[in-house]
Amino acid sequence: MANALAGMQRRNESNRGMANSRGSRWGYLGTAVAVSQAAVLTIEVGERQRLYAEAVALSAAVGRPMLLVGMPRPFAGQMPCAPGVTLDIDPTVRDVCGAGGVAADVQSISYRDGYFGAVAAFHVLEHLPDLESAQRAWRELWRVSATRVLVAFPRRWNLYASYLQPEHHLWVYPSAEGGDRLHVEEREGQRRTAWVRRDGWAELV
């Protein structure tokens, strides 16, 4: 009897040890995920801040207003409305940005060629439904800019952007050499991948 009770006690202790071990592993995994997501958020916030400042400086240098596509949202690191025009498809942009807020589609911008000193589009283009929409938007952004188009984009290891945001239909990022080409990858449908030139022409890859 005593031997049986001792055996049961050893098994219970072993089970508790295994449960604690599994709990520790899940705890480590949760910590690793939290650290990685904090890192990607830091990268993306820093990118927006850097590109916003660059767009402001470029616009001031040529004496023209700046265009920001995508109105400010209530989350960490969001830039203010542009010192010029802030464009968003959401009509509440007028409430958020006042006289500088313009409700419009990025695929059809009602300003003349080169009207803006620089254009910044932050976490916007991935919301477009397909490659053709990205082509039209990219062509419009370059058409109205006198200097550059600066794009901030979510990284693939951003779990929210990858798995929890149903309004993201594309992966996009500008080319490293000057940024005048846009890499577009459809996340659904035909799943096409292309490099889009500033004139809107797409080269499938």
Q: Is the pLDDT of residue 23 over 80?
A: no
Average pLDDT, stretch 126-140? 97
Question: Which residue is listed with tokens 């490659």?
Answer: 131
What are the structural domains of the chain? 2-204 (3.40.50)
Element (H, E) at 152: strand 149-152
Strand arrangement, sheet containing 170-174:
170-174, 182-186, 193-196, 202-204
The residue whose two tokens read 């004139």 is: 199
Cα separation of 201 and 134, whole Å? 10
pTM score, whole prediction? 0.83
Share the mean pLDDT of the chain.
Answer: 89
Contact 44, 152 (CB under 8 A): yes
Residue 138 contacts by C-beta under 8 Å, 6 or more apart in sequence? 125, 149, 182, 196, 197, 198, 200
42-82 pLDDT tens trace: 999 899 999 999 999 999 999 999 999 999 877 655 679 99
